[in-house]
Amino acid sequence: MAENDGSGCGLTLGILAVLIGVPLFILVIAISGGEEPEPQASCRPGTTEDASAIPEEYREALDSAAAESSLSVDLLAAQIDAESSWNPDAVSPVGAEGIAQFMPQTWETYGDGGDPFNPEDSIAAMGRYMASVSDEVADLAGNERELAELALAAYNAGPGAVQSAGGIPGFTETEEYVETIMGSAQGNYSADCSPVGGQEIGELGTGEWTHPLPGSTMTSGFGARSCPILNALNCSGGVSDHRGLDFAGPTGATIVAPMDLEIRATGVINGWEQLGWVVLGKMPDAPGLHVEFAHCAANSIDVGPGDTVAPGTPLCTQGNTGSSAGDHLHFQVGIPEGDEATPGWDNLVDPTPLLREKGIDS
């Protein structure tokens, strides 16, 4: 419905939408004339009954839109924040209008005769449109969180693009759109830091967490990702379905325990050589998550099986062992199922909302 930042990325998606036969609309992460919003990755809850981050005049309309779409108020609020920064008069260079940044062609279908610059009309139309795109991609979602992500991707790139990709399409703009809004929904609009769609692993407890590779930058997120062009023949397994987070720090950066851990296994694990030198641990307290660190530098591991370590304890040095492209940490988190002495796969969950819930900027 509105374009990204005036650089032409949104226009490119609009052309793609025409080519693949999805509704013509282009969405915004930064509104026209405004600044790109700062990413809110860590949790800063501000949504209580008495002090909501949602402007009071829009709360009733958002409640109705959330009920219409079967998506959370937190998600829709973060989406409007990303689209227009709550500006009902926003207009993008490509013609998107109003607080929800509808393109005129899409407004004709979902505006129900209203005014796109009337925030109540626009928010109601957003609820109808999110309900429509959610229905079109629901067959690809395995849980509420996945449905929210796919609905956002469909809102940005079109339901046809999501269906063709079998998930979030590999457009940089769409991936960033989904990540930004999911993070903002949890970090800025959730009352208790809960991730959108909740989590099935239980409470994370009151213990302090820290970043597993302090001073690093996240270089790859969790889930499906595009094949590297030069590695297209090997685009399978963890290359295309990334089951953790990658962090890259300065040369020789130290990987640390992000929470209390019991070390279960270290070194190169038979059958999992692609992960290189690893440290496998488990939270001693509920919910008993498996926590795994891969691609440690050879012979750099400072802990051993049976050790109990506190948050911030050095585990190994960031490395490039196994099937790796440069020094980095591959960080995996799994629910407490399976063999604790081997890396997980089917039991792995996205660590990002867990880190956010603990106030860690990933």
How do residues 291-336 score in pLDDT, each as one tens digit? 999 999 999 999 999 999 999 999 999 999 998 889 999 999 988 8
- How large is the average pLDDT for residues 193-215? 80
Residue 56 burial class via C-beta count within 10 angstroms: exposed 0-12, middle 13-18, buried 19 and up: exposed
- How large is the average pLDDT for residues 260-287? 94
Cβ 74 vs Cβ 47: under 8 Å: yes
pLDDT in tens, 308-317: 999 999 999 9
Do 318 and 177 lie in a common domain?
no
Kindly indicate the confidence band of residue 253, based on its pLDDT and cuts at 50, 70 and 90: very high
125, part of any domain: yes
Specify the CATH number for the domain of residue 87: 1.10.530.10
Do 270 and 162 lie in a common domain?
no
Q: Give yes or no: 83 in active site.
A: yes
Among 68, 83, 179, 292, the one annotated catalytic: 83
Question: What is the overall mean pLDDT for the chain?
Answer: 81
Question: Would the pTM count as exceeding 0.85?
Answer: no
pLDDT over 90 at 16, yes or no: no
Do 248 and 346 lie in a common domain?
yes
Do 252 and 294 lie in a common domain?
yes
Residue 1 has a pLDDT of 47
Do 52 and 176 lie in a common domain?
yes
Kindly indicate the confidence band of residue 361, based on its pLDDT and cuts at 50, 70 and 90: confident
Do 336 and 242 lie in a common domain?
yes
105, part of any domain: yes
Enter the DSSP assignment of 185: H
Which carries the bigger pLDDT value, residue 216 or residue 36?
A: 216
Do 130 and 248 lie in a common domain?
no
272, part of any domain: yes
195, part of any domain: no
248, part of any domain: yes
Q: For a pLDDT cut of 90, what percent of the chain falls above it? A: 56
Output the six-digit token pair for 66.
Answer: 């959330």
Residue 40 has a pLDDT of 40
Do 99 and 233 lie in a common domain?
no
Residue 303 has a pLDDT of 97
Do 301 and 173 lie in a common domain?
no
Q: Cα(26)–Cα(3) distance, rounded to whole angstroms?
A: 5
Specify the CATH number for the domain of residue 308: 2.70.70.10
pLDDT over 60 at 124, yes or no: yes
φ and ψ at residue 318, rounded to 5 degrees: -50, 135
- For residue 171, give its domain range: 9-188
44, part of any domain: yes
Kindly indicate the confidence band of residue 28, based on its pLDDT and cuts at 50, 70 and 90: very low
Cβ 90 vs Cβ 99: under 8 Å: yes
Kindly indicate the confidence band of residue 195, based on its pLDDT and cuts at 50, 70 and 90: confident
- Domain end among 188, 206, 227: 188
Q: Cα(334)–Cα(198) distance, rounded to whole angstroms?
A: 16
pLDDT over 90 at 145, yes or no: no
Residue 51 has a pLDDT of 42
202, part of any domain: no
Enter the DSSP assignment of 274: G
- How large is the average pLDDT for residues 151-173? 92
Q: For a pLDDT cut of 70, what percent of the chain falls above it? A: 78
Count of the separate structural domains present in the chain: 2
Do 125 and 249 lie in a common domain?
no
Kindly indicate the confidence band of residue 49, based on its pLDDT and cuts at 50, 70 and 90: very low
- Domain end among 168, 188, 208: 188
- How large is the average pLDDT for residues 18-25? 32
Kindly indicate the confidence band of residue 345, based on its pLDDT and cuts at 50, 70 and 90: low
Which carries the bigger pLDDT value, residue 23 or residue 60?
A: 60
205, part of any domain: no
The residue type of 267 is G
